[in-house]
Amino acid sequence: MKNFKRIGVLTSGGDAPGMNAAVRAVVRTALTHGVEVIGIYRGYSGLIDGDLKKLGYRDVSNIINKGGTFLYSDRCPEFQTPEGMAKAVKTCRDFGIDGIIAIGGDGTFRGATELTANGVPCIGIPGTIDNDIASTDNTIGFDTAMNTVIELVDKLRDTCESHARCNVVEVMGRGAGDIALHTAIASGATAVIIPELPYDVSDICRRVKSARELGKRNFIIIVSEGVGSDVGPALAKTIQAETGVESKFARFAHIVRGGSPTLKDRILASTIGAIAVEELLKGNSNLVMCERKGKIVAVDINYALILDRMYKGKLKEGDLDRFSEKELAKMRSEVRAKQANIARLYGISKTINL
Ligand code: F6P
């Protein structure tokens, strides 16, 4: 064990159900190891401003079931400047913060790796409803968001069935279609549109028409926000014009980001929070804790960030230079496996949802 006296914990970026459960696990695990915990409010903004509070065991009581994040969250452009970073490092020195657990998405991890390079060891925990972190199978909040979507879609289905209507539904996910694709399968949606794969509006209209001819009365089409905000509303109009089925549009937006975390998210958050602290106290840093094939494993942040860019097709010049051929081959095969999984799930949704 390294001689850590005090660590900090923060939540940053879009909030996600389960973040509180993760903070709770971080606080209690650290205290059990005799290490103090400082709650950093408003993500990296609070680190810059010194918006901090020492957290005791009971300060994190009754939050495992709460959505949002009691530490609040922020997106902090100042942290990306040398001045912002210097202020953040100074806060850590002034308050004796020996390391930080940062809960959030890829922006949070970029901040964490910069802080580590500036002498404050950090470990990241993936918390975002989008599930858009390529190095982990699941992010904290993804399961809750999906459960909220299917609950809402089930309600829409009731009224669609009564009126023989179609409802096009747009769900969040930023550039990732994970929420849309999984909830389309789970809610029996007639079609799904995600940014990862091409789509054909005529084909969607044909699917609605042929299902109608077979006696189907309710039609749900799920659209991921990543394909553009005009796609869903336009699709509803086209379906109505082309098929004669009355079609409505609904945007679920931020409603899907709130609410009490599911059992799966609470367990993921609690285990990943506890293991992240153990890693940090062992002297390890610059890591993202990931869930892979049901196990929590530590992945180097730089590997995770570049894998992410490779998967999202956003590689920049020089990004791959620091990796060995073996690591690059591993990254490429991980990207292929993720793409194949998306294609497979998409195929299944088309086959069984008509
Ligand atoms: O990353 C989570 C997320 O909810 C995305 O799904 C969405 O695109 C974005 O954040 C919305 O951001 P904001 O809360 O700033 O409107």
Question: Which CATH number covers residue 170?
Answer: 3.40.50.460
SS3 assignment, position 122: strand
- Structural domain tally of the chain? 2
Ligand 1 within 6 A of 273 CB?
no
- The pTM of this model reads 0.97
Low-confidence ranges of the chain (pLDDT < 50): none
Which atom in ligand 1 lies closest to the alpha carbon of residue 225? 8
Domain shared by 215 and 307, yes or no: no
Secondary structure string (H, E, C) spanning 233-299: HHHHHHHHHHHCCCEEEEECHHHHHCCCCCHHHHHHHHHHHHHHHHHHHCCCCCEEEEEECCEEEEE
State residue 188 phi and psi, 5-degree precision: 65, 35
Q: DSSP letters of 292-338? A: ETTEEEEEEHHHHHHHHHHHTT---TTTTTTS-HHHHHHHHHHHHHH
pLDDT at position 2: 67
- For 103-155, how does the pLDDT look when each residue is reduced to its tens digit (9 = 90+)? 999 999 999 999 999 999 999 999 999 999 999 999 999 999 999 999 999 99
Q: What CATH number should be reported for the domain holding residue 120?
A: 3.40.50.450
- Residues labelled as active-site residues: 130
Residue 1 lies in a domain: no
Ligand 1 within 6 A of 174 CB?
yes
Residue 179 lies in a domain: yes
pLDDT at position 353: 85
The structure tokens listed for 243 are 């098929």
Ligand 1, atom 14, lies closest to the CA of 14
Domain shared by 229 and 344, yes or no: yes
Domain shared by 345 and 216, yes or no: yes
What's the gap in Å between 5 CA and the centre of ligand 1? 35
Which residues are CB-contacts of 352 (< 8 A; sequence separation ≥ 6)? Answer: 185, 188
Which atom in ligand 1 lies closest to the alpha carbon of residue 16? 2
**Cα dihedral across residues 84, 87, 88, 89: positive or negative:** positive
Residue 195 lies in a domain: yes
Eight-state DSSP code of residue 4: -
Domain shared by 49 and 134, yes or no: yes
Which residues are CB-contacts of 112 (< 8 A; sequence separation ≥ 6)? Answer: 100, 102, 122, 123, 124, 286, 301
Domain shared by 67 and 87, yes or no: yes
Q: How far apart are CA 238 and CA 233, in angstroms?
A: 9
What's the gap in Å between 16 CA and the centre of ligand 1? 10
pLDDT at position 242: 97
Ligand 1, atom 13, lies closest to the CA of 14
What's the gap in Å between 71 CA and the centre of ligand 1? 18
Residue 330 lies in a domain: no
pLDDT at position 85: 96
Q: How far apart are CA 84 and CA 259, in angstroms?
A: 33
Ligand 1 within 6 A of 130 CB?
yes
Which residues are CB-contacts of 220 (< 8 A; sequence separation ≥ 6)? Answer: 153, 156, 157, 160, 166, 167, 169, 187, 188, 189, 190
Q: Domain range for residue 201? A: 145-258+340-352
First to last CA, the chain: 57
- For 46-61, how does the pLDDT look when each residue is reduced to its tens digit (9 = 90+)? 999 999 999 999 999 9
Q: DSSP letters of 61-113? A: TT-TT--S-TT-----GGGGSHHHHHHHHHHHHHTT--EEEEEESHHHHHHHH
